[in-house]
Structures are given as structure tokens and as C-alpha cells.
């Protein structure tokens, strides 16, 4: 077969396989992210079969997947909601940042990956998965719970923090000086401020430019605007993902609702490819040496997220059960952690073991997070009741 034919066959197998994995994940009520990663690990270098023909297409599709992921994340929030969430929960955001960045940074330094590796791993362990958490809250019927606004406020602050963190990471990975890094932060802050102000005052104008009664025209303008903004952001050494996120914030009202509806299938397809490609570029043989570290890191950062959610919910005078649900909901890591690790690996500025550790870590918490959220309530009820008292017959036998 020609190289084109081979690539088409491999792409067909990949898409079909990802569809089967996604269906399996929905059947067992888990996020498909870990299964997509495993699929990539199995078909990459060192896997069961090596699919070399999908690499070039996969890389570009993965980049588009990141842009669409962040664009739709921005569409979920209005500028007013971001400002309100920041005002109400900024202290919880600080606690979240300190507790959950520190473990990743410490592990990277202990493994000898230096300050750059520490910066990257700090982001990997810090950011919760908005996509997984939103799905879990919806599946469990907790969107109307008292603790849900607390969870969403923390996620909003994390997303805002990423708008500042990602440009710094991109600059550091590119070997830019401290002055250059500060310049990237300044540009990101300026862009964030301009977008928020524009969204608050002129969101209807931006939405009107993109909106169209014709679905095809609407979709083309929306994707074109997202790629244009992402490309300009990238040329300014600000993450393309941040550019897409800010554009999503600027789109509001009915236009945002329509955009979410038409983009969702595309987002799912290209996001799946992004996670698959990350797994494809990770040698499965590199995971066993870091698996113990990944498990330890997962245990520690699950505990720190529990503390974050508990403390934040307690400040809002929510009861112990709601505090526990808030903490458990925040455990899951996913898309952003992989985005950060992917940027680092692509730059070649970090140790190859970082990709393996990030993969194993996300695999663990993308599974543990939804399971913890599902079972934390019965566990808390059991703890509050205490173990059942011994029966008379068992006491007599003792």
C-alpha cells in the first residue's frame, strides 16, 4: 500500500478504537481520558503496534484539540462570573495554589529535574480537570447542591491562574530570560484585562460579529476566530490555549450557547486525538520506573484537594457532607495537566521521565477522582454513624 493508504487505514483504526473506548468509558461511568491515553501508549513507540503514519496529522489535530478545549471552557463563563468568582473565592484559590503546586515542584526537584521541571510539575499537580468535574457533577445530580458554586469558583480561579501560568511556562521552556518571562506575563495580564473589559462592555458586539443564522457560516467564523486569536497569542509568546480561552469569555449570550452546541462534537473528536497523541509520544516502558512516584503523588495531591474543597466550603458555612463532596470533586486531573506536560515535552527542555510521570499521574486521578466523588457521600455517612455495635451473640462469644 502507498503511504497515504497506510495513513488512512491507521487513522480509521484510531478513530474507531477511540470511539469504542469512549463508549466503554460511558458504560462504566468514568472519564474517557485515561482510556484515550492508554490507547496512545499501546500504538506508539514501544507499544504493542507502532502507528507511525498518524503522527503528523495527530500533532496538528492535537493542537486544534487544545484550542477547542480551551475555547469551550471560556464559553462556559461570562466575564461577570469570572470577576464575581474571583472576588468571592480568592482566598480559597490561594490555598488551592499553594497546597497543590508544592507537591509537584518538590517531586521534580527530588528527581533532579531542576527549576524548569519543578515549574512544569507544579502546574501538572495544581490544576483540576474542569471537563471531568463538570461531567461528574452532572451525572451525580449535584449541579444544584450548595457546595457546587464553591467548586465552580475554585475552577474559575484555576483557569484564570492558567492564563498567567502558561505564558510563563512557554517562555521558560523556550529559554527566554527572566525579563522575557516577565514580559510574557505582562502581555498575558494586558490581554486578560482587555478581554474582560471588552467582554463586560462590548461582549454583544463581539458575539454579533461571529454570530450567523447560517450554521455553516457560524461554525467557520467561530473556528476561524479561535485559530486566529490562538495564533496571534502564540506569536506573542502567550499560550495559544490562553488566547482561545479569552475569546470564549468574550463570546456571550445566545451566541455562546449556540457555539457550545455546534462545537461540542468537534471538541470531543479533536480532544480525544490530543490525549491519544500524548500517549502515542510516551514510551510505555518509561512508566513502570515512575509508577511508585505517581501513586505517592496522587495520594498526596488527592489529600490536598480534599483539604482545599473542605476549607473553601466551610468558609461558606456548608456542612461536613457538602465539604467532603467539594473536596472529592476537585481530585480529578485531566486535560490541563496533559496540556502542560505536552508543552514541556515538545520543547525538549525537560527530562523524558516527566511525560511518563504526568501520564501515570493523570491516568490514576482521572479514574480515582470520579470514583471518589461518587463514593465520598456513603463513606462520610458511614463515618458519622460509626461502625455497627457488636451483637449480643458476638459479645458472648468474645
Kindly report the number of other CB atoms within 10 A of residue 165's CB atom.
24
pLDDT digits (tens, 9 = 90+) for 151-180: 878 887 887 787 778 777 877 777 766 566
**Calpha distance 101→126 (Å, rounded):** 5
**End-to-end Cα distance, the chain:** 76
pLDDT at residue 313, rounded to an integer: 92
Distance of CA 314 to the CA centre of its chain: 25
Query: What is the DSSP code string of 113-146?
Result: -HHHHHHHHHHHHH---HHHHHHHHHHTT-TTST
Share of the chain above pLDDT 90, in %: 20
Share of the chain above pLDDT 70, in %: 83
pLDDT digits (tens, 9 = 90+) for 80-124: 666 666 677 788 889 999 999 999 999 999 999 988 899 999 999
192 pLDDT more than 90: no
User: Stretch 336-345: mean pLDDT, rounded?
Assistant: 81
pLDDT at residue 55, rounded to an integer: 65
pLDDT digits (tens, 9 = 90+) for 212-242: 888 889 999 999 988 888 887 777 655 676 6
What confidence category does residue 390 fall into, taking pLDDT thresholds of 50, 70 and 90?
A: very low
Kindly report the number of other CB atoms within 10 A of residue 5's CB atom.
10
pLDDT at residue 104, rounded to an integer: 95
**Calpha distance 10→277 (Å, rounded):** 13
392 pLDDT more than 50: no
User: Stretch 322-333: mean pLDDT, rounded?
Assistant: 93
Q: Nearest-CA neighbor of 100 among 342, 373, 307, 378?
A: 307
pLDDT at residue 82, rounded to an integer: 65
**Calpha distance 391→262 (Å, rounded):** 60
What confidence category does residue 321 fall into, taking pLDDT thresholds of 50, 70 and 90?
A: very high
pLDDT digits (tens, 9 = 90+) for 243-298: 787 788 788 778 888 888 888 888 888 878 877 877 777 778 878 899 999 999 99
Alpha helices in 44-78 (DSSP H): 55-75
Q: Under a CB-based contact definition with an 8 Å cutoff, are residues 280 and 10 in contact?
A: no
pLDDT at residue 70, rounded to an integer: 74
Higher-pLDDT residue of 312 and 139 is: 312
pLDDT at residue 393, rounded to an integer: 35
pLDDT at residue 53, rounded to an integer: 64
Distance of CA 78 to the CA centre of its chain: 19
Greatest CA span in the chain, whole angstroms? 80
**Calpha distance 350→116 (Å, rounded):** 7
Domains of the chain by start residue, with CATH: 9-23+31-383 (1.20.1530.20)
What confidence category does residue 398 fall into, taking pLDDT thresholds of 50, 70 and 90?
A: very low
Q: What's the pTM value of the predicted model, to 2 decimals?
A: 0.72
**Calpha distance 273→262 (Å, rounded):** 18
Candidate ranges 75-79, 105-109, 202-206, 280-284; pick with highest mean pLDDT: 105-109
pLDDT at residue 237, rounded to an integer: 56
Amino acid at each position: 500500500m502507498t503511504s497515504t493508504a497506510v495513513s488512512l487505514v491507521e487513522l480509521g483504526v484510531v478513530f474507531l478504537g477511540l470511539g469504542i473506548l469512549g463508549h466503554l468509558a460511558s458504560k462504566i461511568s468514568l472519564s474517557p481520558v485515561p482510556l484515550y491515553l492508554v490507547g496512545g501508549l499501546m500504538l506508539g513507540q514501544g507499544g504493542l503496534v507502532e502507528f507511525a503514519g498518524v503522527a503528523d496529522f495527530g500533532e496538528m489535530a492535537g493542537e486544534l484539540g487544545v484550542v477547542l478545549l480551551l475555547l469551550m471552557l471560556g464559553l462556559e463563563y461570562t466575564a461577570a462570573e469570572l470577576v464575581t468568582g474571583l472576588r468571592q473565592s480568592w482566598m480559597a484559590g490561594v490555598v488551592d495554589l499553594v497546597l497543590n503546586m508544592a507537591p509537584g515542584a518538590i517531586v521534580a526537584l527530588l528527581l533532579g529535574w531542576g527549576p524548569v521541571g519543578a515549574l512544569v510539575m507544579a502546574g501538572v499537580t495544581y490544576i483540576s480537570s474542569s471537563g471531568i468535574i463538570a461531567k461528574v457533577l452532572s451525572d451525580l445530580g449535584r449541579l444544584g447542591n450548595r457546595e457546587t458554586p464553591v467548586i465552580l469558583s475554585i475552577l474559575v480561579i484555576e483557569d484564570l491562574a492558567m492564563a498567567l501560568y502558561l505564558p510563563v511556562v512557554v517562555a521558560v521552556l523556550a529559554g527566554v530570560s527572566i525579563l522575557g518571562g516577565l514580559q510574557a506575563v505582562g502581555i498575558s495580564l494586558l490581554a486578560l484585562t482587555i478581554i474582560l473589559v471588552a467582554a463586560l462592555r462590548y461582549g454583544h458586539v463581539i458575539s454579533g460579529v461571529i454570530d450567523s443564522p447560517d450554521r455553516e457560516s457560524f461554525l467557520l467564523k467561530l473556528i476561524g476566530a479561535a485559530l486566529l486569536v490562538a495564533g496571534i497569542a502564540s506569536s506573542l509568546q502567550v499560550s495559544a490555549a490562553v488566547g482561545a480561552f479569552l475569546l470564549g469569555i468574550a463570546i456571550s449570550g445566545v451566541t455562546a450557547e449556540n457555539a457550545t452546541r455546534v462545537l461540542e462534537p468537534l471538541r470531543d473528536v479533536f480532544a480525544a486525538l490530543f490525549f491519544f497523541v500524548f500517549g502515542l509520544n510516551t514510551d510505555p516502558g518509561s512508566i513502570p520506573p515512575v509508577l511508585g512516584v505517581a501513586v505517592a503523588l496522587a495520594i498526596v495531591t488527592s489529600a490536598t484537594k480534599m483539604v482545599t474543597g473542605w476549607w473553601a466550603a466551610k468558609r461558606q458555612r456548608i456542612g461536613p457532607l457538602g465539604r467532603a463532596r467539594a473536596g472529592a470533586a476537585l481530585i480529578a486531573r485531566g486535560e490541563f495537566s496533559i496540556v502542560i506536560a505536552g508543552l514541556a515535552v515538545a520543547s525538549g527542555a525537560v527530562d523524558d521521565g516527566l511525560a511518563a510521570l504526568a501520564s501515570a499521574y493523570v491516568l490514576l486521578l482521572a479514574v480515582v477522582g470520579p470514583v471518589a466523588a461518587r463514593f465520598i457521600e456513603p463513606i462520610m455517612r458511614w463515618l458519622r454513624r460509626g461502625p455497627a455495635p457488636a451483637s449480643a451473640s458476638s459479645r458472648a462469644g468474645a
